Amino acid sequence: MAVATAAAVLAALGGALWLGRELRQAAECGPEPGVGGLGELIVRELDLASLRSVRSFCQEMLQEEPRLDVLINNAGIFQCPYMKTEDGFEMQFGVNHLGHFLLTNLLLGLLKSSAPSRIVVVSSKLYKYGDINFDDLNSEQSYNKSFCYSRSKLANILFTRELARRLEGTNVTVNVLHPGIVRTNLGRHIHIPLLVRPLFNLVSWAFFKTPVEGAQTSIYLASSPEVEGVSGRYFGDCKEEELLPKAVDESVARKLWDISEVMVGLLK
């Protein structure tokens, strides 16, 4: 599998600095230190809460990058208070599903021309508690932050399965995963009482995954020869897992795709 020449878009600058350091250390420890290089790390601005930003990012990618070997849809927002994206979508559905939906569709041509290539979508086990309510996708009639997060993660899975169906025969694969509970700032909107925080911190350090551990299934799906040609599947801890019936409902997946195309402006 070719090494991706496309830029890595990172949610945190700290991640970019860490990857940059790893690249430099690997180059310095190679057979000819400082010679040949292992590629280039480029950080580009991408705001998934703005369809304008997504389109701008994709336009830049298509103009500057000759190929794209792997696209990992990893960014997300978790149980935030009710708020809307720049385009008026409920924030969790807008960022976790619609932003990635548009991003992937705009980059599909480059992924196909770079085949064999892979798309990796990060979901969550919490999809089990979500449902797709086509009458209130924007949560304007009612809003429950936990339910809306779960709905956005169910949408990730339905999107993956419908995309896999549409990509059959292209040599572009797409799979979805849950990373487990990871120690990041994703839960910054969750209120933890002051007196409980020491216990919570202790539990998180004891039982939550580190970011490196949480990334392993994404890395596995992006690079392992074991999943070459595998598409439309759901993974956890680098192993395929079964999905609930609502996550494999083809009619719901197709309807969600059609509505999402209209919402992001791919169809008028």
Percent helix, strand and coil across the chain, each rounded to 5?
A: 45, 10, 45
Instruction: Report in angstroms the alpha-carbon separations of 242 from 134, 155, 248.
Output: 25, 16, 10
Length of the chain equals 268
Alpha carbons 148 and 127: distance in angstroms, whole number:
10
Decide: 218 and 74 in contact? Cβ < 8 Å.
yes
Alpha carbons 197 and 192: distance in angstroms, whole number:
6
Sign of the CA dihedral with 189 first, then 154, 105, and 265 last = negative
Note if 149 is an active site residue.
Answer: yes
Q: Walk across the sheet containing 172-178 and list its strands.
A: 70-73, 117-122, 172-178, 234-236, 239-240
Which of 82, 129, 143, 149 does the annotation list as catalytic?
Answer: 149
Nearest to 99 by CA among 57, 146, 43: 57
- The residues assigned a catalytic role are 149
